[in-house]
Amino acid sequence: MRRFFWDYYGPQAAGTAAHFHRHLDEFLAREGLLGCTTGTETYAPMHAAAWCEAPAEVAEVVARALRPRRSDP
Protein backbone atom coordinates (compact mmCIF):
# COMPACT_ATOMS: atom_id res chain seq x y z
CA MET A 1 0.00 0.00 0.00
CA ARG A 2 1.14 3.50 -0.79
CA ARG A 3 -0.34 6.61 0.79
CA PHE A 4 -0.63 9.81 -1.26
CA PHE A 5 -1.29 13.29 0.13
CA TRP A 6 -2.65 16.51 -1.34
CA ASP A 7 -1.80 19.34 1.08
CA TYR A 8 -3.73 22.59 1.44
CA TYR A 9 -2.76 25.66 3.44
CA GLY A 10 -4.56 28.75 4.67
CA PRO A 11 -7.77 29.57 6.50
CA GLN A 12 -9.86 27.38 4.15
CA ALA A 13 -7.45 24.41 4.15
CA ALA A 14 -9.83 21.94 5.83
CA GLY A 15 -12.71 22.86 3.52
CA THR A 16 -10.54 22.60 0.43
CA ALA A 17 -9.20 19.20 1.52
CA ALA A 18 -12.77 17.98 2.11
CA HIS A 19 -13.80 19.25 -1.33
CA PHE A 20 -10.87 17.49 -3.02
CA HIS A 21 -11.71 14.33 -1.04
CA ARG A 22 -15.16 14.21 -2.67
CA HIS A 23 -13.60 14.53 -6.13
CA LEU A 24 -10.99 11.91 -5.24
CA ASP A 25 -13.71 9.40 -4.33
CA GLU A 26 -15.56 10.21 -7.57
CA PHE A 27 -12.37 9.65 -9.60
CA LEU A 28 -11.65 6.30 -7.95
CA ALA A 29 -15.22 5.10 -8.58
CA ARG A 30 -15.31 6.35 -12.19
CA GLU A 31 -11.98 4.69 -13.02
CA GLY A 32 -12.87 1.48 -11.17
CA LEU A 33 -9.78 1.63 -8.96
CA LEU A 34 -10.51 -0.88 -6.23
CA GLY A 35 -8.93 -1.31 -2.81
CA CYS A 36 -8.29 2.37 -2.09
CA THR A 37 -9.05 4.07 1.21
CA THR A 38 -9.42 7.86 1.38
CA GLY A 39 -9.82 10.55 3.99
CA THR A 40 -8.75 13.94 5.26
CA GLU A 41 -6.48 15.06 8.09
CA THR A 42 -6.11 18.45 9.73
CA TYR A 43 -2.59 19.01 11.03
CA ALA A 44 -2.98 22.61 12.19
CA PRO A 45 -5.58 25.38 11.79
CA MET A 46 -3.91 26.42 8.53
CA HIS A 47 -2.83 22.99 7.17
CA ALA A 48 -5.00 20.09 6.04
CA ALA A 49 -4.65 17.28 3.54
CA ALA A 50 -6.72 14.80 1.60
CA TRP A 51 -5.14 11.36 1.36
CA CYS A 52 -5.52 8.11 -0.53
CA GLU A 53 -4.05 4.77 0.47
CA ALA A 54 -3.76 2.73 -2.73
CA PRO A 55 -2.66 -0.85 -3.35
CA ALA A 56 0.44 -1.33 -5.51
CA GLU A 57 -1.55 -2.36 -8.57
CA VAL A 58 -3.35 1.02 -8.80
CA ALA A 59 -0.85 3.35 -7.09
CA GLU A 60 0.86 4.35 -10.34
CA VAL A 61 -2.46 5.28 -11.96
CA VAL A 62 -3.37 7.50 -8.99
CA ALA A 63 0.07 9.13 -8.94
CA ARG A 64 0.12 9.81 -12.68
CA ALA A 65 -3.44 11.11 -12.96
CA LEU A 66 -3.71 13.17 -9.77
CA ARG A 67 -0.11 14.26 -9.09
CA PRO A 68 -0.03 14.18 -5.28
CA ARG A 69 2.20 16.61 -3.39
CA ARG A 70 3.83 13.86 -1.33
CA SER A 71 3.60 10.15 -0.57
CA ASP A 72 4.62 7.49 1.92
CA PRO A 73 5.88 4.22 0.45
Query: What is the per-residue pLDDT across 1-46, written as a single tens digit (0 to 9) for each?
Result: 999 999 999 999 999 999 999 999 999 999 999 999 999 999 999 9
Domain ranges of the chain: 2-72
The rounded distance, in Å, linking the Cα atoms of 35 and 66 is: 17
CB 50 within 8 A of CB 24: yes
Q: What is the mean pLDDT of residues 60-64?
A: 98
The pLDDT of residue 26 is 99
The pLDDT of residue 73 is 84
CB 61 within 8 A of CB 35: no
The rounded distance, in Å, linking the Cα atoms of 73 and 47 is: 22
The pLDDT of residue 44 is 98
The pLDDT of residue 19 is 99
